[in-house]
Amino acid sequence: MELGQGFAFMGSQYHIVVEDKDYYIDLLFYHVKLHCYVVIELKATEFRPEYVGKLNFYLSAVDDLLRQPEDNPSIGLILVKTKSKVEAEYALRGVTTPIGISGFDLTKALPEKLKGSLPTIEELEAELEFENGSDAQPIP
């Protein structure tokens, strides 16, 4: 899978264990230039505010379980079928981890200098559609 310069594919349905419970991250990447993990949640539904909580949980777990001292904090992206801008804004308010929702801008926690190093949502969606085939549906 090619998402742009610097992305290393770590896995799909990437398995992590938190307190003896199994969790599976839809897509996990490591960005070698930004020195951080990128966690992507794929949802074949409209945006739901609880998706932010789940992704924030995954970001915290990845930072505690996988991140090395020299790595930057992880970045999260939620790709959804549709979204309400107001719901997305409310769901992200107060969240300090850098999270993006579909075409929605990344939260202010992501430094400006990093924003240009990440692929656009359109590039991610196009690449995922190409990899999965046009009829494939992401796992809800």
Residue 140 lies in a domain: no
Q: Which residue is associated with the tokens 């804004």?
A: 89
Long-range Cβ contact pairs of 54-59 (< 8 A, separation 24 or more): 55/99, 56/95, 56/97, 56/99, 58/16, 58/23, 58/25, 59/97, 59/99
Helices (H), 27-132: 50-65, 85-92, 112-115, 121-132
Q: Would residue 61 be called left, alpha or beta, if left means φ above 0 and alpha means ψ between -120 and 50 degrees?
A: alpha
Please count the structural domains in the chain: 1
Is the predicted pLDDT of residue 137 greater than 80, yes or no?
no
Is the predicted pLDDT of residue 116 greater than 70, yes or no?
no
**Among 10-14, 53-57, 96-100, 118-122, the least confident range:** 118-122
Per-residue pLDDT at 123: 65
What is the rounded CA–CA span in Å between residue 61 and residue 7?
Answer: 20
Residue 60 lies in a domain: yes
Is the predicted pLDDT of residue 50 greater than 90, yes or no?
yes
Question: What's the whole-model pTM score?
Answer: 0.69
Is the predicted pLDDT of residue 32 greater than 80, yes or no?
yes
Banded pLDDT at 108 (limits 50, 70, 90): very low
| CATH number for the domain harbouring residue 22 | 3.40.1350.10
Residue 74 lies in a domain: yes
Domain of 26 in residue numbering reads as: 7-132
Banded pLDDT at 84 (limits 50, 70, 90): confident
